[in-house]
Structure 1
Amino acid sequence: MKHSEKVEDPGSAVMSRRTLVGAMGAVTAAAAAAPAFAQAQPGPVAPPSTITTPPRDFSPRGAPTTYFTDPDVLSVDPLFNQYAQPNSAIQRLWTGALWMEGPAWNAQGRYLVWSDIPNNRQMRWIEDDGHVSVFRMPSNNSNGNTFDFQGRQLSCEHLTRRVVRYELDGSVTVLADSYNGKRLNSPNDVVPHPDGSYWFTDPPYGGQLYEGAPDAAGGPSNAGGRLKPRLGQAAEIGSAKRELPTSCYRIDPSGRVDLVVPEDQVPDPNGLCFSPDYKKLYVVSTGKGPGDTGPGGKGDVHVFDVGTDNKLSNRKLFSDCMVDGVKCGPDGLRCDVDGNVWMASNAGRAVGYSGVTVWTPEGKLIGRIRIPEICGNVCFGGPKRNRLFMAGSQSLYAVYVNTQGAAPG
């Protein structure tokens, strides 16, 4: 062996030129094979949302939300930041309905009840273990539900065209099924007042096969008489015809039913709620319903002053529900303790705009919550009433917020 030669010892710090060149080649090849984002990261990756491809998976199998605030809880105005709860993710609690409506929170029982209208049932989600089961079936195609100040459930029934109250002993009281001797259309939503009265809307949406029963032959929703409203129904169903315009009513504690909002003020009234001080009433006007002969509602929200005599006055357009040029059709709505209005949004195929819109008492949009389905109604619940429940078309969603609902149910 010549003195000029060296033995390459793997443990030695000495490395030959050949070994060094080989090692550099391996590093270059690895870098070429690495993903582009590993070589250069020009900026943070955008958070997933309902408009990503593929869409975000809201189910328990989906990836967790790793951001400080949920990427689908959007602050349109900085004012909304105080109402969005940091580190709270939107959750899909259940899916399997055909069209969901009327979520309502039972504070004493700590459960949520809602309507699955086409399936003719009410469902219940129990807080302690998230169990979901059929609560009431048949439900007479119930739509809106709530609980009054005594903890009794109120329901609006499409099929029987009435508003009922489920008493604490399990019996059922019919609160209203007619006005001035004429049958109601299909009560949609109902809210209690501290004076013991109940206020409800009566559009015609239950007068169709999917969500109730059409009119008897010759009625507005079955003018040609081709539909058979008695098919699949109990013996007493199928003889009613639409007799009244679309209106809002008040059920007095005495049982008297009074007209409070006529059709010419708010056509096709749908969701409604009081302000926290009960001095204002918000009423949603939705689109043209079955049997309507006029243009129907425009998908907007109106607000009235409520007088001490229970008379409404000073009607104003609260919102036309246009957001970024997209019609976020309103449905159900609730107020928080600061008077903000949390409103269900049905934006149709405008993905990313369905869910919930949040407005100040002055009608300014401050926030949005996006879910991957159109939303029919909302309510505040949970033991602290700080969890927003959202009835999507087929699924139940929830997210904690940094405020409380103003009213029970």
Structure 2
Amino acid sequence: MRQVETDESKSEASRGFAPPSRRSILAGVGVILGSAGLASAEPMPPSTVTNPPRDFRPGATPTTYFTDPDVLAVDPAFEAYIVPNSAIRRLWTGALWAEGPAWNAVGRFLIWSDIPNNRQMRWLEEDGHVSTFRMPSNNSNGNSFDWQGRQLSCEHATRRVVRYELDGSATVLADRFEGKPFNSPNDIVQHIDGSYWFTDPPYGGQLYEGLPDEAGGPSNPKGHLNPRLGQPAGIVTGRRVLPNAVYRIDPSGRIDRILTDDQIPDPNGPCFSPDHRILYVTSTGKGPGDTGPGGKGEIYAFDVAEGGKLSNRRLFADCVVDGIRCGPDGVRTDVDGNVWASSNAGRAVGYNGVTVWNPAGKLIGRIRLPEVCGNITFGGPKRNRLFMAASQSLYAVTVNTQGSGPA
């Protein structure tokens, strides 16, 4: 088709501008799409803010940035923790909802849960190989390794906490309190005194992440859901009967309820300060069957005394950034006492990922991901690599600090 020359195009030409032809426009679009990796067969998650859009796929061309543009120093203090030539990498994708990453220092591998797919995955450090580690996993959520190198897992479907022993056997650490089954243990850490601390919110009572209650229970009030579908013969179902809480398993085996739902609504991710004198717990949103208002997406801190006695409850961080609620889930501390928290900002693009708070509760840094981040941990041979389980994928970035302990 012949291009008609107009007075406007003559004017632009006289100023050194030429109107683009259709061919040049299409060619330019092709260059942009090709450079962004959008023309390939594998779909790419959208960039958070980077322009042109980043390609996070494992086999993608490395970024050309010297300092990753999605690792942000909100406060100058965070610059000391940024490794300038380290970029965020998407190590793997393919989960339905990734949670509970934990680093095995002896085996040099990472495990994490894919809750809806009822499996645990493993990433090998030496070559990046990913495989199914344990299936079925009883819809496990949080995982960690204790000081003896044994894996701890919180299981939704069986409403219990288990420990995998070094000889290959498994031990049920907790499955009920005062004769009543737990709701759905969520996340667990070990204190230096040998005790295990875990949270018990109701999120595993959802059809997607575990087993709903039997008919009439809080997460199945109309009785329309059948919790036995897809489960093996003999599966034990039940109803939620306990309030949300945080529990401590004493080295003797005694189980104590140490925090109630009134003290911290919908408790989710626990972690300790490097000296184990402070407990941090995230309070997330209202869960299935909750009768109260639910959590607001905040982090609380408590002083820890001998025997697990807690005091001085205080709001550590409201997790609001630029007016956006960056809902925390999993948390970990580094050796300097900073708190690294996963961020679920929903559809607020650019605010999902990780927030970093100094020991005084001041936001100092952010890591932006193209997916909602559920949980994090430090790993790698030097424990200076931050692994982030985010929605369907696993991400990692090297930082200039170390995690404060096995988790």
- Check whether TM > 0.5: yes
Counterparts of 1:164 and 1:143, CA distance in 2: 12
State TM-score, norm by structure 1.
Answer: 0.88
Per-residue deviation, 1:63: 3.9
Q: Residue 58 of structure 2 contacts residue 92 of structure 2 at CA under 8 Å; is this kept in 1?
A: no
Q: Distance in 2 between matches of 1:65 and 1:253?
A: 48
Partner of 2:240: 242
Partner of 2:7: none
1:107 to 105, 108, 119: 105
Q: In the aligned structure 2, how far is the partner of 1:353 from the partner of 1:179? A: 38
2:219·2:288 contact (CA, 8 Å) conserved in 1?
Answer: yes
1:70–1:49: structure 2 CA closer, same or farther, 3 Å change rule?
farther
Cα pair 1:358 1:367 within 8 Å, conserved: yes
2:328 corresponds to 1:346: no
**How far apart are 1:62 and its partner, in Å?**
3.4
Contact kept? 2:339, 2:358, Cα under 8 Å: yes
* Contact 2:211-2:237 at 8 Å conserved across structures: no
In the other structure, the counterpart of 1:289 is 287
The 2-side partners of 1:54 and 1:350 are apart by 19
* Distance change (3 Å), C-alpha of 1:119 and 1:107: same
Aligned mate of 2:58, from 60, 74, 81:
60
d(CA) in 2 for partners of 1:287, 1:67 = 36
Instruction: Within 5 Å, give how 1:385-396 maps onto structure 2.
Output: 385-396=383-394
One-letter identity of the residue aligned with 1:195: D
CA distance in 1: counterparts of 2:52 and 2:59, whole angstroms: 15
Q: How far, CA to CA, are the matches of 2:404 and 2:84 in structure 1?
A: 21
Q: Secondary structure at the match of 2:77?
A: helix
Q: Secondary structure at the residue paired with 1:133? A: strand
Matched AA of 1:357: T
Tell me the secondary structure at the aligned position of residue 220 of structure 1: coil
1:201 equivalent in structure 2: 199
1:123 maps to what in 2? 121
Deviation, 1:321, is: 0.5
Distance across 2 between alignment mates of 1:279 and 1:272: 13
Which letter maps to 1:203? Answer: P
- Quote the residue 2:9 is aligned against: none
Larger Rg: 1
Report the AA paired with residue 349 of structure 1: R
How much has 1:59 moved relative to structure 2?
Answer: 1.2
Contact 1:215–1:238 (Cα < 8 Å) also in 2? no
- Partner residue, 1:177: 175
In 2, Cα distance between equivalents of 1:296 and 1:206:
16
Distance in structure 2 (CA, Å) of the matches to 1:86 and 1:71:
10
TM-aligned CA deviation for residue 218 of structure 1: 1.4
**TM-score normalised over the length of structure 2:** 0.88
Q: Which residue of 2 aligns with 1:83?
A: 81
Letter paired with 1:395: S
Rounded Cα–Cα distance in structure 2 between residues aligned with 1:239 and 1:71: 48
**Displacement of 1:233 after TM fit?**
0.8
Matched residue of 1:114: which SS?
strand
Amino acid paired to 1:55: P
CA distance in 1, matches of 2:184, 2:237: 14
The separation in 2 between residues aligned to 1:292 and 1:90, in whole angstroms, is 37
Q: State the shift of 1:237 in Å.
A: 2.6
Do residues 304 (structure 1) and 302 (structure 2) align? yes
- Aligned positions, number: 369
SS at match of 1:405: coil
Q: Please give the root-mean-square deviation of Cα atoms over the aligned residues, in Å.
A: 1.7
